[in-house]
Amino acid sequence: MIKYLLFFSILIHTSAFAFEVSGKSIVVKSDDTKILTRAAEDLAYYLGTITSGSVNVLDKVPADAKSVIVLHEDARGLKEDGFKLRSEGNRLHITGQNERGVLYGVFYFLDRYLGVKFLAAEYEYLPHFSRKELGEISDVQEPAFWYREIFFHEGDDPVFSLKNLLNGRLGHRTLKDEAEEIYTGGINTYSFTSSELLGDAFRCNGQYQYANPRAQHKAAKALDAKLSELDTDKECVVILEHEDRGSVCRESGKTASEAFLSYTTYLAKRLGKKYPHVRFYHQAYLWSREVPPHAQKLPPNLGVHFAPIEADFSKPLTEGENREMWRQIKGWGKLTKDMIVWHYTVNFGGYLFPYPNIPALAEDIRNLRQLPFVKGLFLQGSYETTGGDLAPLRLWVFAKLLWNPEQDVDQLISEFCRYYYGKGAESVVAYIRKRRALLKRSGGALRLKTPIDTTYLSDANLAELNAILEQGLRRVPKGTPFYEHYLALFPGIDYIRLIRGRAFRGRARVKKRFLDFLAAHPDLTHIAEGVSAENMVKVLTL
């Protein structure tokens, strides 16, 4: 893909006493490791591009240097992945708790202090100035969550994920090696289903005999063999999963959730000494989400991976019918100090479907941060395809919130829209707000697979949303990245109007617009989970 770099020229005057950056600034790395070298080179590249200067990377601070940025790794006083920025005369120190923290510090500095916006893997906004006064800087940043991953197709690029301070690669596992070669692979994350460990043995009603000692022993041997081939010399995550079905195995004397917990507990205890850096996770999903009635404290190396798949995603987990899942989360918190929540961000019954759940998920992220045992979030989106509903915006906004949930979500949305949609930003913000209002007025829910005939998206409401977007499009200059970004907003409305098969004014034009967009974006491969865009084209062209 072509990477667009959008420049905005400004001249900023400085005083003799303030720290400033310019095209003559120098970047100094305190160590010669691959990661620190790459962090220094990236910082020098962006500084040089912004200032039209030539920024050098050195190993030592020159005696006559006037503007120096020094990169350090120092674990003292910071949480994992944390960093601090501190100015000292003509020097700025960017210190990371680990090498990844140094990288995060560099990208954060570029974003919050210099105005670089890492909006998409193929699109970044860069300001342009000859020099900029930054004044005195004292800024300490630590992540709200130890584990942070957003599983969108648009997030597959490992460098883009790092630029947005993400560190998990469970969903993007096929790209982990590339991430390690470029920067650092983040937290190594693996998952193993019971079928991967037990094969055809001990099957029971679509699941397995999890409480059977022989099954547990066999699974432990299989897991040991798999882990021995992986990089487990540093802290990593291993999720222990049952089969992705609602069916359960009825084992004498134990509930299904109790039997599965005995299985995961056995594996964690059996393999804990051999793999001291592995954090095992018991999957709490579907029928295993309920805490067994007589469950004991979990081993210290066994956490819980909780997935509220049946929630109404129009509301936070603390409201309405979702309160039952919030109760379950807090129940598991009495047994473990380590939980990762697997949350859902789009309609898997229609990736393009206008899905106004952003405020509810933002509130969930804030609320989960208040639970000390919740160590991470995995946010699953349109992982099979690009082009999902507001996918670039969701990825960018949620990444910001996973680092600091106290940020105002509407301000983040407005900031993204300003840089990504240009003169169309105001209409995109209005479109997002109108979707929320229409859903609230309808009283409808947002399920994991919400059907296209939902009352929230009546024909009249779709026409109203379309009108807002049409009005904004007229303000966006053709032939610009802004125009291409803006056109990607229409398919979500268009496909629903077309697939319903009802007549409406301008149907032929809308059909052409939709088919032209699919033809121009071959990476938009799926309309819904397991439903290809190719099949959609066949239906519309019959």
**CB distance 207 to 241 below 8 Å:** no
Of 304, 334, 350, at which residue does a domain stop? 304
Distance set, CA 77 to CA 81, 98, 141, 204 (Å): 12, 12, 11, 50
Q: Specify the 3-state DSSP secondary structure of 49.
A: helix
Distance CA 207, CA 526 (A): 29
Question: 364-392: b or e for each residue (b if 16 or more CB lie within 10 Å)?
Answer: bbbbbbeeebbbbbbbbbbbbbbbbbbbb
pLDDT at 1: 39
Whether 136 and 257 map to the same domain: the answer is: no
DSSP class of 341: E
Query: In angstroms, how far is the first alpha carbon of the chain from the final one?
Result: 32
Phi, psi of 474 (to 5 degrees): -65, -20
The identity of residue 317, as a single letter, is: L
What is the DSSP secondary-structure string of 270-288?
HHTTT-TTEEEEEEEEGGG
Distance CA 233, CA 501 (A): 56
Residue count of the chain: 542
Q: With DSSP H G I counted as helix, E B as strand and the rest as coil, what are the percentages for the chain, rounded to 5?
A: 40, 20, 40
pLDDT at 231: 87
Element (H, E) at 431: helix 425-442
**Total domains present in the chain:** 3
Distance CA 253, CA 11 (A): 75
Q: Specify the 3-state DSSP secondary structure of 524.
A: coil
CATH number at residue 37: 3.30.379.10
**CB distance 424 to 472 below 8 Å:** yes
Whether 19 and 110 map to the same domain: the answer is: yes
pLDDT at 346: 98
Distance CA 459, CA 504 (A): 9
Handedness of CA 384, 386, 387, 389 (dihedral sign): positive
The identity of residue 82, as a single letter, is: G
Whether 135 and 192 map to the same domain: the answer is: no
Whether 133 and 231 map to the same domain: the answer is: no
Distance CA 150, CA 399 (A): 7
Tokens of 54: 């030539």
Whether 108 and 34 map to the same domain: the answer is: yes
Expressed as residue numbers, the domain containing 452 is 420-540
Distance CA 342, CA 508 (A): 41
Half-sphere exposure of 360 (CA within 13 A, CB side): 24
Whether 119 and 225 map to the same domain: the answer is: no
Distance CA 380, CA 396 (A): 14
Residue 175 resides in a domain: no
Whether 130 and 221 map to the same domain: the answer is: no
Element (H, E) at 417: helix 409-421
Instruction: Identify which of 259, 272, 319 has the alpha carbon closest to the alpha carbon of residue 299.
Output: 272
Distance set, CA 444 to CA 263, 355, 455, 483 (Å): 39, 12, 7, 32
Residue 383 resides in a domain: no
Distance CA 368, CA 524 (A): 33
DSSP class of 138: E
Whether 515 and 428 map to the same domain: the answer is: yes
Whether 136 and 205 map to the same domain: the answer is: no
- CA-CA-CA-CA dihedral for 214, 302, 381, 431, to nearest 10: 140
Of 141, 160, 180, at which residue does a domain stop? 141
Residue 79 resides in a domain: yes
Strand ranges of the sheet holding 278-285, from the earlier edge strand across to the other edge? 147-151, 374-380, 339-344, 302-307, 278-285, 236-241, 188-193
Phi, psi of 455 (to 5 degrees): -65, -25
Residue 313 resides in a domain: no
**CB distance 35 to 184 below 8 Å:** yes
CA 194 to chain centre: 27
Whether 85 and 27 map to the same domain: the answer is: yes
Give the number of other CB atoms < 10 A from CB of residue 75.
13
Distance CA 225, CA 126 (A): 48
Whether 205 and 125 map to the same domain: the answer is: no
Tokens of 100: 């990844």
Residue 387 resides in a domain: no
Residue 273 resides in a domain: yes
Whether 11 and 137 map to the same domain: the answer is: yes
Residue 390 resides in a domain: no
pLDDT at 12: 40
Handedness of CA 286, 289, 290, 292 (dihedral sign): positive
pTM of the model: 0.94
Distance set, CA 39 to CA 29, 59, 62 (Å): 9, 13, 20
Residue 529 resides in a domain: yes
The identity of residue 382, as a single letter, is: S
Per-residue pLDDT of the chain (542 residues; tens, 9 = 90+): 345 555 544 444 344 446 899 999 999 999 999 999 999 999 999 999 999 999 999 999 998 888 999 999 999 999 999 999 999 999 999 999 999 999 999 999 999 999 999 999 999 999 999 999 999 999 999 999 999 999 999 999 889 999 999 998 887 555 544 444 444 557 889 999 999 999 999 999 999 999 999 999 999 999 999 999 998 998 899 999 999 999 999 876 789 999 999 999 999 999 999 999 999 999 999 999 999 999 999 999 999 999 999 999 999 999 999 999 999 999 999 999 999 999 999 999 999 999 999 999 999 999 999 999 999 999 999 999 999 999 999 999 999 999 999 999 999 999 999 999 999 999 999 999 999 999 999 999 999 999 999 999 999 999 999 999 999 999 999 999 999 999 999 999 999 999 999 999 999 999 999 999 999 999 999 999 999 999 999 999 87
